[in-house]
Structure 1
Amino acid sequence: MTHDFVVIGGGIVGLATALFLGQRFPQATVLVLEKEARLAFHQTGHNSGVIHSGIYYKPGSFKAQFTKAGNQAMVEFCQTHDLPYEVCGKVIVATQPTELPLLENLYQRGLQNGLAVQKLSSEQVKEHEPYVHCLGGIYVPTSGIVDYRQVCQKYAELIQQQGGEIRLQHQVLNILKTSTGYTLETNQGEMSARFLINCAGLQSDRLARLAGLEPEAKIVPFRGEYYELRPEKRYLVKGLIYPVPNPEFPFLGVHFTRMIDGSIHAGPNAVLNLKREGYGKLEVDLKDLGEVLTYPGFWRLARRHWQEGLQEIIRSWSKPAFVRSLQQLIPEVTEDDIIPNPAGIRAQALQQDGRLVEDFWIIEADQALHVCNAPSPAATASLEIGKAIVARIPEPI
């Protein structure tokens, strides 16, 4: 059977895209292919559950625009469909004098992005988070928490109510361009699409190449490792507590996140993963690792950030080092207070020159769209990303 649209990837971006396809093209046939046995298996199902505000991102970028709008859209979606969520707010704090100018810069960026951010003294920070020790902070009132796996299940229900189809355990092995669209060879047989949308996350660049493209960046997987506060220590954190990010380093630093179930997660660090979809610290895939180690962009990134990268590796293997990072925010936390929690993997596009692709990145092709960079905050922005993807499709297809 030929489908009008085939979406590859059953994560939150792929599902949001399929949802908007059904709304814009109600007579079209929409099929979602997911290679795992359940939806939201990879990035979506292993993230921190934060509804981001958009404070960090370059004004005017897709990330800034989509995250601010997506924050409101996600809250409204949860309200409409009675999904548990909470707009709990977030504090971002400076713990060293050298971080105070960075905090001011971040405050100004928040204003430029149209957010109702507030400057806080160290005493005012304690009104929000009594156990944080800092020199000053920012309060971001629109940040919140949700379970994105539940959001995905609701997306899936709505897709099916619209007449869309979702097939699990369907892995795309090859993509052939035809005169009318694409033929997809999967582990469950062939199927055809008049229009193809690649939302495959950790495998997105590979699928783009199968479809005949040569993306100017490669997906490099970074593992984020978490700990969890023991239940008797949850009182130390009321909401979301973040350090001021280093603008020269592409990750936010270890932080505290209250989850929608009440648990408190601490992390993540960020280390190169040795397998694109391996969640254990010692899991290795020689093909995946070989692609990274033979990629010039990786070595250029490593030369630029080797000191920060070394600290991340140390935190990965040393619980005391990880705890010391947490103690910069909450000095009362001890090694006995935290227990290991499952890791997540960030699919990050990296260019040949060693620069990370900072924004969401959608490649347009003949009768196809390829989402080749959609890491955090893509879950928050998923409804806006899905809407933007569908808006790029010509009518009629």
Structure 2
Amino acid sequence: MKDYFDLVIIGGGILGTSISYFLSFLNKSKKIGVIEQENNVAHHTSGRNTGKVHAPYLYNPEKKKLFANAAFHGYEMWKEYSKQQNVSFKEDGVIEVALDEKGIKVLEKYLKWGKQNGLQEKDIELIEKAELKKIEPEIKCEAALYAHRDGSTDYSTLTNAIMRDSKKNGINFLFNNKTNEIKKNKDKWEITINGNHKIYADFLINAAGGQAIDIAHNIGIAKNLTDVHFRGEYWKTPKKYHNLTKTSVYSVPEFPEYPFLDPHWIVRVDGSCEIGPNAVPVFSPYGYNTTENIKQFIPKILEMINSGARKIIFDKDFQELAFSEIQSSMSKSVMVERVKKFLPKINSKEITEKGTAGIRSSVIDENGKFVPDVILVEEDTSFHILNYNSPGATGALPFSVHVINQLHQKGLFENDDINLQCGPWKFNEIVEKLEK
């Protein structure tokens, strides 16, 4: 059957494409398809980010253990794959700054977390402001955490390279196909795409990013969870600022329990610089414009009111932060002023060009709390990856191995050899590293 697959992955972002990559080496006997609603991979969040390959110091080793572990091993894997594909990868590091004593305490915590997550003494260090001045004279702060094992690349280019390798090994990419409905038809999944066309699959992997919760709900899974979406916006700086610092500069977030980040100073892999992102609440995983947000406003508000998210809506701290982010969207100077606190040389009048906005989706549980780590929901014939956000791109390769190995242990790929070479890596060797 032309429209039958052994396995279908929904979502052609960096995660869905990476899962297809490893499956293409391990499961050559199976017919595997990737359904993507856009005309190419990495069209949304996977290609609309800072391109940073994050050192895992920001992630609580207990609450975000899986993300942190994947990010730690993802660094070397992206470095190796970038070299193989001749894609730019700069080991440029990142500096996290504290502007007061409270912030210094946070940096001390980050240093501890980073080492718990695998970083060595040479990878990360806490430095005083006088010492930082010798390295980065334009930065103003009280102390800084310098993560040397942090890099920059282009995730859109890398995801396209992964797709090409997957296709060479027989993976079918079904572009321009929006998933409308998923239901069981006897012992198979019946997936309706583009309104009325149907394809069938024995097994389903939901890696749909901003739509993953909606797809899970469509088949009656994870009904206790809902998601909220935040648009991250950027401003490009003129060339005169491109040598202002050698590295990207982050500041300690004031409210880490919420998904609001104070805008960063970002040095991209091509040397260009940007300010961002903020986190503007929107009503769709594709809410880049007013039209889409108006269309989804009522359905999303009703969904939130009838879930644990209603507690967030009426939370005063959340409301104040959301309003602040909306202000930063409406006023360029509001966002720039946040960065001027640690880079006072910036002049907002000279920054006139907007960068590409991306949307991050965060999951809220039935108690009205943001869920910090990824959520994996396994059914007999489906596997759902929910709340896969930052540092999702950094950890996508090893995390894909984790997912496939988990399914292998449950018997899905019991007849396949997981000791095979998958591009530059042996699958079982990645598994061993992740389990340490």
Q: CA, structure 1 residues 101+210, in 2 after alignment: closer, same or farther (shift >3 Å)?
A: same
Q: Which residue of 2 aligns with 1:101?
A: 105
Query: Using the alignment, how far apart are the partners of 2:238 and 2:388 within structure 1?
Result: 32
Q: Please list every run of 5 or more consecutive structure 2 residues that lacks an aligned counterpart in the other structure.
A: 414-436
User: What residue number does 2:427 align with?
Assistant: none
How far off is 1:311 after superposition?
2.0
Aligned to 1:235: 243
- Report which stretch shifted further, 280-289 or 89-98: 280-289
Tell me, yes or no, if structure 1 residue 367 matches structure 2 residue 371: no
Which residue does 1:129 correspond to in 2?
136
User: How much has 1:282 moved relative to structure 2?
Assistant: 6.4
1:35 maps to what in 2? Answer: 37
Greater than 4 Å deviation, 4+ residue runs: none
Match of 2:406 in 1: 392
Kept in 1, the 8 Å contact 2:259–2:279? The answer is: no
Cα separation, partners in 2 of 1:229 and 1:114, compared to 1, 3 Å:
same
Q: Does 1:284 align with 2:321?
A: no
Q: Distance in 1 between matches of 2:331 and 2:276?
A: 13
Name the structure 1 match of 2:181: 174
Q: SS state of the match for residue 236, structure 1? A: coil
The answer to whether the 8 Å contact 1:176/1:184 transfers is yes
**Contact persistence 1:30–1:164 (CA under 8 A):** yes
How far 1:79 sits from its partner (Å)?
Answer: 1.8
Within the candidate set 330, 335, 339, 1:317 is matched to: 330
TM-score of the superposed pair, with normalisation by structure 2? 0.87
Residues 249/125 of structure 1: CA separation in 2 closer, same or farther (3 Å cut):
farther
- 2: distance between equivalents of 1:3 and 1:357? 33
State how far apart, in whole Å, the 2-side matches of 1:365 and 1:144 are. 36
Contact 2:37 2:177 in 1 (8 A): yes
Match of 2:76 in 1: 72
Is the deviation greater in 103-112 or in 13-22?
103-112
1:111 aligns with 2:119: no
The one-letter amino acid paired with 1:112 is Q
Other-structure match for 1:377 = 391
Structure 2 counterpart of 1:158: 165
Q: Choose 299-308 or 195-204, whichever is displaced more.
A: 299-308
Q: 1:173 to 1:281 in 2, by over 3 A?
A: closer
Instruction: Verify: 1:8 aligned to 2:16, yes or no.
Output: no
C-alpha separation in 1, matches of 2:297 and 2:199: 27
What does 1:189-228 align with in structure 2 at a 5 Å threshold? 189-228=197-236
**Correspondent of 1:47 among 28, 46, 49:** 49
Change in CA separation of 1:389 and 1:164 when aligned onto 2, cut-off 3 Å: same
Q: How much does 1:158 deviate?
A: 0.8
Where 1:158 maps in the other structure, the secondary structure is helix
Note the C-alpha offset of 1:319: 1.8
CA distance in 2, matches of 1:375, 1:134: 29
For residue 355 of structure 2, give the secondary structure of its aligned residue in structure 1: strand
Shift of 1:211: 2.3
Could you say which residue in structure 2 is the equivalent of 1:300?
311
CA contact (8 A) 2:226 2:309 kept: no
Distance 1:182 1:127, change over 3 A: farther
TM-score, scaled relative to structure 1: 0.95
What percent identity do the matched residue pairs reach? Answer: 28
Which residue pairs with 1:251 in the alignment?
A: 260
Aligned partners of 1:74 and 1:202: how far apart in 2?
23
